[in-house]
Structure 1
Amino acid sequence: MHSTFMGLEMGKRGMFAHQTALQTTGHNITNLNTEGYSRQRVRIGTIDPLYDPGLARVHVPGQLGQGPTTTRIERVFDVLHENQVISASDDLGYWRTRDFYVDKLEKIYNEPNDVSVRTFMDHFWNSWQDVAENPESLAARVQVVQNGKALSESINHRHAMLQEQRLLLNDDIKFTVTEINQKTEAIAKLNVQIARVQAIGDEPNDLLDKRDQMIRELAVLVPVSVDHQDADEFRVHIGGRILVQGELVNPLSAEADPNNDGLAMVRWGDINPPHNRDSYHDTYRVAGGKLGALIELRDVDVKDELRKLDAMTVHFIDLVNDVHAQGAGMNGNSGLDFFRQNNYIENATGSIDTTGDGQLDSTYLFRISGANQLKATQQVGLAGEITLSAGNGDLVTIAYNPNDTVGDIINRINYSGADVVARLDVNGNLSLKGSLSYGDNTPDFVIRHVEDSGQFLVGYAGLLNASGADGAYDYQNPNAAEEQLRVTQGVSFQTTPLQRPSAWIAVNAQIASDANNVAAAKPLAGSGEVAIGNNASALAIADLRHEKVMIDRLTSFDDFFADSVALIGAKGFEAQETHAAFSTINKNLDDIRQSISGVNINEEFADLVRFQHGFTASARFVNVVDQMLDTIINRLKV
């Protein structure tokens, strides 16, 4: 039988339920501008009725209810849409980072501008043209020296700026790794707190909001995916690998990489590493997110810009020095390089010890020039296959036949994908040069393999001693220069220069101190004397400006600068437009998320009034019951 005071209890429950609803509504309103907050809703249900059908009960019609109760306080949250937001965040982080840093790269090129490398290069060529027009003028030679210095310093400056950009990216990578680890640690701690709250049957709504916000911030840094399961099973993945599982964290680390100039290499940790840690402690290679963009920018974009600048510089130094050394200055001095030449090794034949065991094991040559003079338009009348090393470590073959001209074969070499490029030098000799290296075992500008099954590189160009594999030049032979090249018959070669030529290029000190050493003339054949007014060397150097030379491919110096600026401009446009597109996509997704989970102030005010009325009604009901009980207890006479 129900109690006489049951009405008070029922009213109290109504007051408590609506009070909880009012407090939750106030929680929503006061968190209107809290980032990552999801609005909460109180589920009000009914207490089980007084009588259970299976038990003895008094005979009254129907089941007598006992009032309301708060069944749960839930947050309004859409898991599927949240996964879409997380999935789009890494693209936004990637393109936002690229847009920021590519813009910095564009500023480094500073073109068109009066103080760009291209402008100083133009001044350098123009000054040589002035010397060619006035070969007896010392003032014109002084201008060449000054423009050479200005050009060298501008190349040095661009190298320094690119290197600074790379170091800035490296610092950002280390900072981002630290930030990722801090967020993963915070997520793991939240997992523990959430698990404890859920274990006692409560709803950790605010903690869940904090974790989801942390996940969204993490997704901008790295491309993550999540499993929305129980707290102790909540997992965060990157590229299929677990980053966080419950309270366990798989942190990333940034360690110095000796094969990448000592810059940071991002590595994985492991939640449960085996005894052999190294098998799991491998390199992070996941594309996307801010971290992926930073690694790509540092090790691809900026590194490629440095390598292209080095390639241009080393060929520029070699070409100018090759012509200048054959000329003579006003004082009769010849054999001088215009630009300083720093060699990677001191051995005159290029032999080097690469393993550090005290034994010469390789030959590092940058340029090999044949002994015979050739013409680009003449047909070779020979057939065979030239085998050269490729940039990916493989070998490429270039076939030639009797109808091919020397120019045809040179073009095939330059567009074959080999890391060896070819041209006819100022004397008409076939010149092969090493290009950029794509491996860590050898430096740039090393000729690795040259082989000819026929006679083009042998008797025709006068470069190799013999045909076939037995006569092939290979850099892993420490005596390759003496054994495979026709050194005794006039082959010339240049050992590999010191790495990063764009950092050390400078005018030769002898020329910088005395402009009379600037070679404008070629000595007269036989006598070695210099004719007054001879401008052959000056013209040859000035003509290098438009000549198709070897800078990764067959192109001129002017084309190189035009292509470089166009490429970096295209990258900048792509990054800017794609960043804008993903920003719009991300904003639209966030707007949808806010429409689902965000606080609507009008709706909350309506709920505030509704729950207030409910509380007032419950309180009024208690007052009525109180009056009834007062009548029963105090006013009825027995």
Structure 2
Amino acid sequence: MRSTFHGLEVAKRGIFAQQTALNTTGHNISNANTEGYTRQRVNMQATNGLPYPSLNASKEPGILGTGVQVTDIQRLREGFLDLQFRNENKTLGYWDQRVDAVNKIEQIMHEPSETGLQKVMDQMWQAWQDLSKDPTSSSARAVVRERSNAVAETFSGIYNHLQTIQKDFDNVVGIKVAEINSLGEQIAQVNRMINQVVPHGYTPNDLYDQRDVLIDKLSKLTDIRVVQTNNGMVDVLMEGSPFVTADTTTPLATVRNGITGFYDITLGGAAFIPRQGSLAGLVEARDQLLPETMKRLDVLAINLTKEINEIHKTGFSLSDIQNGGGSSGIPFFVDSVGGVTNPTGANKIKINPTILGSLDTIAVGKQPSVGNNENALAIASIKFKIINPGLGPNDFKEATTMDDYYRNIVGQIGVYGQEATRNQKNAETIVGMVENQRQSVSGVSIDEEMSNLVKYQHAYNASARAITSVDEILDKVINGMGRVGL
């Protein structure tokens, strides 16, 4: 038999359920602008009716409802969208870093411009051409020396700046590794807190959100895979190796390479080679993109100075003619480290100290004649000379001119830049699209929450009015029955 106070209990459950829904809606509204917050929804279910089916149960028609209860507070999150977002985010991180690296190289090369290497080399060839018109002119010789020195300084400046960027990238590798380790430790800490409450029947939605934000940030740095484990915790695998296991981490470590001087990365004592994310783009720029550019500059500088030296050493200078002897055979450029040998790198070029000491030692002629200009013409024509390919590490790999080889260097960097920018934009588009889909599921809509607020408020008020109605009925039963005529 149903209780006289049954209606009070039903209405009370209604009030509690709607109050929970109101509080959850307020929580959603409060976190509408919180990074990574996932909107929550109160799921309600009718409580078991009366009477329960049994042998001695009342046989009266129907089962009397007993109200409502909150079954759970659900976090509206789509796991597939998280997986898709993180897969695309690592691609975006890689191309972001690639674009940054190429942009820095382009700024250093600064082509085309009035101060770039191409312009400086053109001015040097023109200076030799002008000298051939007046072989005895000291001012023309001075221009040749200064223009040639400008080429040496420009080569060295570009090369040294590229080395500086390479060292900067290496420092950033250390910073990125520290950032990854920090995120891993934070994920482990959140795992630990989740593990403390889930076994007791609680659902820590806000802790799950905090962990997802950390995992999203980690996904841009390197390739990760998230595996659900016991008690709401997750394991994180990085490039297939364990990184976060429950509430512990296996941090990355950086070790100075004894040969390159740059950081090598290890995980759990084993070599770690990032293949995705911004860390991979950074390591690739440091170990491949920049060394490739510097190597090609070396090849250009070595061949340019070698070609000029070979011609210059066969010529006659004013000093040779005045001394009445043969050609002194001095090189025009020398190695800043190795002395009178040909320069061995783009940052090791300097004018021969003998020429710096006297303009008369510049070998302008092929013959021991004051007016002979054949050597100057021959050096000026190097600009258009086809250099045949060789087998050495510092030889051109295909027949080309000096100018074309340098244009190829600049052109290749431009191609890298176009590719990186295109892929970056594509990745941004895909990540943005997935994030929009994720927000459509998990994001807080103020308009929707306000609508829910009104809905739950009316339901709460109605439950309260039901209590008032039952209270009035009970008042009549308790205080009015049996008192007829009083």
Q: Is the 8 A contact 2:194 2:233 kept in 1?
A: no
Give CA-to-partner distance per residue, 1:446-490, whole Å, 9 cap, x none: xxxxxxxxxxxxxxxxxxxxxxxxxxxxxxxxxxxxxxxxxxxxx
Matched, 1:536 2:362: no
Give the Cα separation in 1 of the matches to 2:287 and 2:231.
38
Matched, 1:22 2:10: no
Unaligned runs of 5+ in 1: 271-280, 347-493, 524-529
Q: 1:110 to 1:496 in 2, by over 3 A?
A: closer
Match of 1:548 in 2: 386
Match of 1:511 in 2: 355
Question: Which residue of 329, 340, 346 corresponds with 1:335?
Answer: 329
Match of 2:126 in 1: 126
Q: Taking structure 1 as the reference length, what is the TM-score of the superposition?
A: 0.70
Match of 1:620 in 2: 465
Give the Cα separation in 2 of the matches to 1:89 and 1:511.
57
Give the Cα separation in 1 of the matches to 2:342 and 2:194.
62
Report the count of equivalent residues. Answer: 470
Q: Is the 8 A contact 2:334 2:341 kept in 1?
A: no
Q: Is the 8 A contact 1:232 1:247 kept in 2?
A: no
Matched, 1:314 2:308: no
Matched, 1:291 2:279: yes
Q: 1:138 to 1:495 in 2, by over 3 A?
A: closer
Q: Is the 8 A contact 1:232 1:245 kept in 2?
A: no
Match of 1:140 in 2: 140
* 1:518 partner letter: I
Matched, 1:637 2:482: yes
Residues 548-567 of structure 1 mapped to structure 2, 5 A cutoff = 548-549=386-387, 550-567=395-412
Matched, 1:326 2:314: yes
Match of 1:608 in 2: 453
Q: Taking structure 2 as the reference length, what is the TM-score of the superposition?
A: 0.91
Give the Cα separation in 2 of the matches to 1:292 and 1:263.
15
Identity %: 34
Q: 1:115 to 1:495 in 2, by over 3 A?
A: closer
Instruction: Report deviation, 1:239.
Output: 2.4
Residues 94-493 of structure 1 mapped to structure 2, 5 A cutoff = 94-231=94-231, 234-260=234-260, 262-268=261-267, 270=268, 281-332=269-320, 334-342=328-336
Q: Is the 8 A contact 2:334 2:342 kept in 1?
A: no
Give the Cα separation in 2 of the matches to 1:633 and 1:139.
123
Instruction: Report deviation, 1:60.
Output: 3.9
Give the Cα separation in 2 of the matches to 1:571 and 1:606.
51
Give CA-to-partner distance per residue, 1:17-49, whole Å, 9 cap, x none: 100001111111121122211111101112233
Match of 1:34 in 2: 34
* 1:253 partner letter: A
* 1:339 partner letter: F
Give the Cα separation in 2 of the matches to 1:588 and 1:130.
61
Q: Is the 8 A contact 2:128 2:144 kept in 1?
A: yes
* 1:322 partner letter: E
* 2:262 partner letter: L
Instruction: Report deviation, 1:231.
Output: 4.6
Matched, 1:54 2:48: no
Using CA pairs under 8 Å that are at least 6 residues apart, name the structure with larger relative contact order, 1 or 2.
Answer: 2
Give the Cα separation in 1 of the matches to 2:342 and 2:135.
33
Instruction: Report deviation, 1:587.
Output: 0.8
* 2:396 partner letter: I
* 2:293 partner letter: E
Q: Is the 8 A contact 2:309 2:333 kept in 1?
A: yes
Give the Cα separation in 1 of the matches to 2:439 and 2:285.
34
Q: Is the 8 A contact 2:336 2:350 kept in 1?
A: no
Instruction: Report deviation, 1:50.
Output: 4.3
Q: Is the 8 A contact 1:192 1:231 kept in 2?
A: no
Instruction: Report deviation, 1:183.
Output: 0.9
Give CA-to-partner distance per residue, 1:522-580, whole Å, 9 cap, x none: 35xxxxxx222222322222222221224343321111121112111111111112211
Question: Which consecutive segments of 4 or more residues in structure 1 shift more than 4 A?
Answer: 494-498
What SS does structure 1 have at the residue aligned with 2:73?
strand
Matched, 1:579 2:424: yes
Instruction: Report deviation, 1:637.
Output: 2.2
* 1:548 partner letter: I
Q: 1:113 to 1:61 in 2, by over 3 A?
A: same
Instruction: Report deviation, 1:89.
Output: 0.6
* 1:619 partner letter: A
Q: Is the 8 A contact 2:103 2:417 kept in 1?
A: yes
Give the Cα separation in 2 of the matches to 1:329 and 1:208.
81
Give the Cα separation in 1 of the matches to 2:60 and 2:469.
23
Give CA-to-partner distance per residue, 1:138-162, whole Å, 9 cap, x none: 2221111111111111111111221
What SS does structure 1 have at the residue aligned with 2:331?
coil
Q: Is the 8 A contact 1:327 1:520 kept in 2?
A: yes
Give the Cα separation in 2 of the matches to 1:186 and 1:95.
26
Q: Is the 8 A contact 1:343 1:496 kept in 2?
A: no
Instruction: Report deviation, 1:197.
Output: 2.1
Give the Cα separation in 2 of the matches to 1:533 and 1:587.
71
Give the Cα separation in 1 of the matches to 2:275 and 2:355.
50
What SS does structure 2 have at the residue aligned with 1:72?
strand
Q: Is the 8 A contact 2:334 2:343 kept in 1?
A: no
What SS does structure 2 have at the residue aligned with 1:70?
strand
Instruction: Report deviation, 1:14.
Output: 1.0
Give the Cα separation in 1 of the matches to 2:351 and 2:343.
16
Q: Is the 8 A contact 1:18 1:615 kept in 2?
A: yes
Instruction: Report deviation, 1:228.
Output: 3.5
* 1:301 partner letter: L
Instruction: Report deviation, 1:521.
Output: 2.2
Q: Is the 8 A contact 2:335 2:348 kept in 1?
A: no
Q: Is the 8 A contact 2:8 2:467 kept in 1?
A: yes
What SS does structure 2 have at the residue aligned with 1:545?
helix
What SS does structure 1 have at the residue aligned with 2:243?
strand
Give the Cα separation in 2 of the matches to 1:115 and 1:152.
13
* 1:337 partner letter: P
